[in-house]
Amino acid sequence: EGVQFGWALQLSLLTPYVQLLGIPHTWAAFIWLCGPISGMLVQPIVGYHSDRCTSRFGRRRPFIASGAAFVAIAVFLIGYAADLGHLSGDSLDKSPKTRAIAIFVVGFWILDVANNMLQGPCRALLADLSGTSQKKTRTANALFSFFMAVGNVLGYAAGAYTHLYKLFPFTKTTACDVYCANLKSCFFISIVLLLSLTVLALSYVKEKPWSPDQAVDNAEDDTASQASSSAQPMPFFGEILGAFKNLKRPMWILLLVTCLNWIAWFPFLLFDTDWMGREVYGGDSSGSAEQLKLYDRGVRAGALGLMLNSVVLGFTSLGVEVLARGVGGANRFW
């Protein structure tokens, strides 16, 4: 939930915010390239090492704790980019604010890397706790999706509220106006929520330390030859290629459907609030004070729309198993 709260803020507010710092609208999308790139690289690498982690704290918890810490650092850099840029020499009257942009981009990339570092082990921990029970796995996935939706709802609601900065008066500074202060306030809540929930989860969820001998013992239950091959650790890229090689046709179709779905969905998420501010409300992030006000109203309205979308997602995630049974199974439901 804490991760999704920050993710909702990232999707709804950061595309407009980078333009307030002076990045042209055309170039705003390039900053988001870090998301897919870090997803392709970080999640497989983290997953590989998490599966083999022998820490006394467990396989998943060290990565979850590290990811949460890096998310907090990244969110701080993003929220205070304008202030830090001004302290470094950015002018209040000139645009673009190059130092603030540099700090923002660094924080943004750290945030995406940390999100991917955090989300993979969270899902893996869910699978570990569910064991081999398919019913537990389905229930756990439904609850996981539901609380993701709750985090999204809270995040988009915070992004849609125009006077949040009044709850945290210290966020409004010489270098950070009302629009910036609202963003900073949202991310301040995000840091507190994420770290609190992470500490709570890691305190109550217990993991048994993993030993490489467990993998060998599991393999010995099948055949001695499999045990000897399993005892030899496979290189990371070899394991990835082997996994793709062994995928069956239905899985390839599922991967293709997921790919096409995200090609359509990702641009909507990135530019929904920006489109509302520009095209629906007729505002401009680099225009006059009145145009900027209209743009901000559109951004808040877009965040409200995304919040309602997440409400539907939350209720759907709880009912998807019932719906699947009603139409004759998950395959037909897909």
Beta carbons of 171 and 188 less than 8 angstroms apart: yes
CA–CA distance, 304 with 9 (Å, rounded to integer): 12
Give pLDDT, residue 196: 92
List the CATH number of the domain containing 152: 1.20.1250.20
Residues 6+ apart with CB under 8 A from 297: 162, 277, 281, 283
pTM higher than 0.85: no
- CA 42, 48, 51 angle in degrees (round to 5)? 130
State the CB neighbour count (10 A cutoff) for residue 109: 18
Give pLDDT, residue 281: 92
Give pLDDT, residue 276: 92
Name the token pair of 142: 């439904």
- Nearest Cα to Cα of residue 17 among 190, 270, 281, 266: 270
Identify whether 242 is part of a domain.
no
Q: How many domains, in total, are found in the chain?
A: 1
- Nearest Cα to Cα of residue 77 among 46, 40, 114, 42: 114
Identify whether 193 is part of a domain.
yes
State the CB neighbour count (10 A cutoff) for residue 152: 25
Give pLDDT, residue 69: 93
Mean pLDDT by 10 residues, the chain (334 residues): 82 85 80 80 85 86 91 92 89 84 90 87 84 77 82 87 87 86 90 90 82 56 45 63 80 87 84 90 85 89 89 78 70 65
In terms of DSSP H, where are the helices of 80-211? 81-88, 98-130, 134-160, 178-204
Beta carbons of 84 and 99 less than 8 angstroms apart: yes
Domain, as residue range, for 10: 1-210
- What b-and-e string marks burial along 157-192, b requiring 16 or more CB atoms within 10 Å of the CB? bbbbbeebbeeeeebbeebbeebbbbbbbbbbbbbe
Identify whether 53 is part of a domain.
yes
Identify whether 316 is part of a domain.
no
Identify whether 134 is part of a domain.
yes
CA–CA distance, 282 with 299 (Å, rounded to integer): 11
At which residue do the structure tokens 């999308």 appear? Answer: 29
Give pLDDT, residue 72: 92
Beta carbons of 130 and 136 less than 8 angstroms apart: yes
CA–CA distance, 58 with 295 (Å, rounded to integer): 47
Q: Pick left, alpha or beta for residue 210 (phi over 0 → left; psi -120 to 50 → alpha; otherwise beta).
A: beta
- Nearest Cα to Cα of residue 4 among 159, 161, 156: 156
Identify whether 182 is part of a domain.
yes
Name the token pair of 289: 């004070």
- Nearest Cα to Cα of residue 155 among 187, 180, 132: 187
- Label residue 256 exposed, middle or buried (CB < 10 Å: 0-12, 13-18, 19+): exposed
Give pLDDT, residue 225: 43
Identify whether 333 is part of a domain.
no
Identify whether 294 is part of a domain.
no
- Quick one: how far is CA 247 from the chain centroid? 27
With both helix axes pointing from N to C terminus, report the angle between 134-160 and 178-204 in degrees, rounded to the nearest 10.
160
